């Protein structure tokens, strides 16, 4: 018979034990999955705290998202922060949004979302996220700054200025709001107010050379040259070793057509950086101070720059023989591949009455305008041959 009552007692006991072990193993597996998911989430949190964003993501990959007891809000929050730390903003956005959808109620989630939206230049959503962060904005100067910049990018200038004012009231010792307001006023064309606030910022902030440069360049780009010069002259006195300050000041003088002032500043800066020697010499040449330019030209280390500039200076001085005698140097440095240099040398040879050599170089001209000039030189050479008294 196949009746259970006739089975041996020891077999029934064995079956009961097996069945009990099976039920226990299923329960244990479910409990283990729950514990493991929680453990991996906690491990990811520790990794994030230690700055190991890639390891945090690796730990989160082991979390069982199908387990109903997995804290999805925390999982997606940690995943979003890990991606944010790795500067993968799109992935961070998706994860943080999922955290909100799965019930994340901590207001700080919106601060992280604001950072992500700002990073991907979605300024409208940046402002919306900051609004949902509640009173946290009043505790975070960077958040107020992001809000102001977002309004500025959206061309809501009044709201941007109001945000900066809020920042100044909330954080009176934080000068980033004053600095940003200065540049906003420059861009809005409110130069007098910008200069006033700029001087206040430079006085209060123990400003660096970079601060002066940024402010001076903003004024320069706005064509407020004199105010830019005033700021940069102060910077030059305070930071005499700073090359960028000197270069920007020189170029601001050039914008005003003050070539001698620009050349002098570059010459002084070249004492610290010989690479500026060529630029100083070039500005002196443009200013008509050819002998000064020629003196500085002697110290230029870059042979191509040196010989090309010297050729132009000698032509300006009408020292045609010296210019013509540069032929071998120009050839050696490869400068004769430059059509302008070849024409200049041909002109020097023509002016030295070395017509055969001049013609040789004119034969290489391909540029349309230089070819036209070369044709005119050939015509003049023919006149000089037949009527030499016209070329004295």
Of 3-17, 64-78, 144-158, give the lowest mean pLDDT range.
3-17
- Residue 234: closest CA among 220, 222, 218, 216: 216
Q: Where are the alpha helices (DSSP H) in 102-242?
A: 108-119, 123-132, 141-153, 157-170, 176-187, 191-204, 209-221, 225-238
Torsion sign across C-alpha atoms 15, 19, 22, 24: negative
* Average pLDDT rounded to a whole number, residues 306-328: 95
Write out the two tokens for 100.
């909100």
Q: Give Rg (Cα) of the chain.
A: 38
Structure tokens at 265: 């500043």
- Residue 107 φ/ψ, nearest 5 degrees: -60, -25
Is the confidence at residue 97, as pLDDT, over 90? yes
Helix (H, G, I), strand (E, B) or coil at 360: helix
Q: What is the pLDDT of residues 247-287, one digit of tens each?
A: 999 999 999 999 999 999 999 999 999 999 999 999 999 99
In this predicted structure, the answer to whether residue 15 has a pLDDT above a threshold of 80 is no
What does the block give as tokens for 106? Answer: 């901590």
Check whether 30 has a pLDDT greater than 70.
Answer: no
Q: What is the pLDDT of residue 254?
A: 96
Per-residue pLDDT at 390 exceeds 90: no
> Would you call 288 exposed, middle or buried from its count of C-beta atoms within 10 A (0-12, 13-18, 19+)?
exposed
How far the first Cα of the chain sits from its last, in Å, is: 141
Q: Render pLDDT for 135-153 as a digit per residue (tens, 0 to 9).
A: 888 889 999 999 999 999 9
Give CA–CA dist 177/161, Å, rounded: 9
Q: What is the mean pLDDT of the chain?
A: 88
Q: Are the beta carbons of 285 and 309 closer than 8 angstroms?
A: yes
Residue 6 has pLDDT above 60, yes or no: no
Q: Are the C-beta atoms of 63 and 41 separated by less than 8 Å?
A: yes
**Could you tell me the pLDDT band of residue 168, with boundaries at 50, 70 and 90?**
very high
Name, in order, each residue with C-beta under 8 angstroms of 93's C-beta and a sequence gap of 6 or more: 80, 113, 116, 117, 120
pLDDT of residue 36: 60
96: its two tokens: 């943080």
pLDDT score for 282: 95
Which residue in this structure is represented by tokens 């280390």? 301
């Amino acid at each position: 018979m196949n009746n259970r009552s006739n089975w041996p007692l020891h077999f029934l006991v064995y079956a009961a034990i097996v069945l009990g072990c099976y039920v226990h193993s299923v329960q244990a597996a479910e409990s283990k999955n729950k514990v493991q998911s929680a453990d991996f989430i906690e491990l990811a949190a520790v990794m994030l705290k230690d700055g190991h964003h890639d390891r945090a993501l690796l730990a989160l990959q082991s979390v069982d998202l199908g387990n109903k007891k997995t804290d999805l809000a925390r999982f997606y929050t940690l995943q979003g922060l890990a991606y944010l730390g790795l500067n993968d903003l799109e992935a961070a956005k998706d994860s943080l949004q999922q955290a909100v959808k799965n019930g994340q109620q901590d207001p700080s989630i919106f601060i992280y979302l604001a950072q992500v939206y700002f990073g991907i230049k979605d300024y409208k959503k940046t402002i919306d996220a900051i609004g949902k962060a509640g009173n946290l904005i009043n505790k975070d100067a960077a958040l107020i700054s992001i809000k102001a910049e977002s309004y500025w990018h959206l061309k809501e200038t009044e709201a941007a200025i109001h945000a900066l004012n809020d920042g100044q009231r909330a954080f009176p010792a934080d000068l980033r709001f004053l600095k940003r307001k200065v540049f906003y006023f420059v861009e809005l064309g409110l130069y007098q107010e910008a200069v006033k606030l700029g001087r206040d910022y430079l006085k209060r902030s123990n400003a660096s050379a970079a601060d002066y440069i940024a402010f001076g360049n903003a004024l320069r780009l706005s064509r407020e040259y004199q105010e830019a010069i005033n700021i940069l002259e102060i910077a030059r006195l305070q930071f005499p070793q700073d090359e960028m300050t000197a270069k920007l000041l020189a170029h601001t003088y050039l914008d005003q057509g003050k070539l001698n002032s620009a050349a002098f500043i570059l010459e002084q800066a070249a004492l610290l950086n010989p690479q500026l020697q060529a630029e100083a010499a070039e500005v002196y040449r443009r200013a008509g101070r050819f002998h000064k330019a020629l003196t500085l030209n002697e110290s230029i280390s870059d042979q191509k720059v040196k010989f090309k500039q010297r050729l132009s200076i000698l032509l300006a001085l009408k020292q045609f023989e010296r210019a013509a005698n540069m032929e071998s140097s120009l050839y050696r440095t490869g400068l004769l591949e430059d059509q302008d240099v070849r024409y200049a040398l041909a002109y020097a040879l023509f002016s030295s009455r070395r017509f055969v050599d001049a013609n040789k170089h004119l034969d290489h001209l391909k540029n349309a305008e230089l070819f036209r000039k070369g044709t005119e030189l050939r015509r003049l050479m023919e006149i000089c041959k037949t009527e030499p008294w016209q070329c004295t």
